[in-house]
Copies of this chain bind each other. A is one copy, B any other.
């Protein structure tokens, strides 16, 4: 299970009724935040998700609307008495940006662990059970798109477990992927589990142009959160010059990548009504939705067939 909350849906600057684009993903009590603009901490406060339990912050790029809220959030987390290390992931130069922004933070009661990723090639890393893939994307400045995958083990084969004489109290350990020893005999998870099943994938791409590598990154996502700076397809040229996407472009990526659901975000402040061009977009990819402050969902594994 993954809880997902789009904290805001704006681009460029926070507006009175539109927080800046930022995504929170919660799994197993640990929160991962992608991007942190000015006021993201206010949206977090309203969301009910704990700031203290943010263990990882992922930054797409160093434009102010994606990173300007970091010092304030770090201070609020400090004020909530976090002492565990907090990991920040982003492209090359991240340490310099963090060093600059935290000039107003004073001494934090937790360690900041900075992970600089490459802006040049696809990479992977892990946060808890979540497997992240990072893809450099084309914007006016170097930028990264993120996709996280929560794997799911194979189905537990009751008949095999009983036939092998494994006592019930060991079953949950095997299901969790651990081996167990019973009367001197070691059982592996593979002894009682079927082939791995479909997990859950959430992908996030903002401030970028479409590209084949982006399609591959988000392939088979349960949820794809993508920028739609404008809904109006007539503004595609304008968006392209600025290194952004319009709804129709995000829809084509979603369709090609076999995505299940698409949310638009990172709206231009000039776009007053993001729903205006939604119907046209749905002709390209039916299950697309306009993001809004605190848009939440909980993704669950498919029911077993």
Contact = CB atoms under 8 A, between A and B. Distances in A.
Contacts of A71: 64, 68, 101
Contacts of A99: 100, 103
A41 B75 CA distance: 19
Nearest to A43: B16
A13 B41 contact: yes
A14 interface: yes
Interface residues of A, number: 33
Specify the main secondary structure of chain A where it touches its partner: helix
A104 B94 CA distance: 11
Given A13-B76, A64-B72, A75-B64, A103 B100 contact: yes
A72 B38 contact: yes
B45 A75 contact: no
A99 B96 CA distance: 12
B62 A104 contact: yes
A39 B38 CA distance: 6
A184 to B, nearest CB: 58
Contacts of A97: 103-104
Contact of A14 (B39, B67, B96, B101): B39
A14 B104 contact: no
A42 interface: yes
Contacts of A76: 13
Contact of A16 (B13, B42, B67): B42
Interface in A80-111: 96-97, 99-105
25 contacts: A12-B79, A13-B41, A13-B76, A14-B39, A14-B41, A14-B42, A14-B72, A15-B45, A16-B42, A38-B38, A38-B39, A38-B72, A39-B42, A62-B103, A64-B72, A65-B72, A67-B104, A68-B71, A68-B104, A71-B101, A97-B103, A99-B100, A100-B101, A100-B103, A101-B101
Interface of A: 12-16, 37-39, 41-42, 45-46, 62-65, 67-69, 71-72, 75-76, 79, 96-97, 99-105
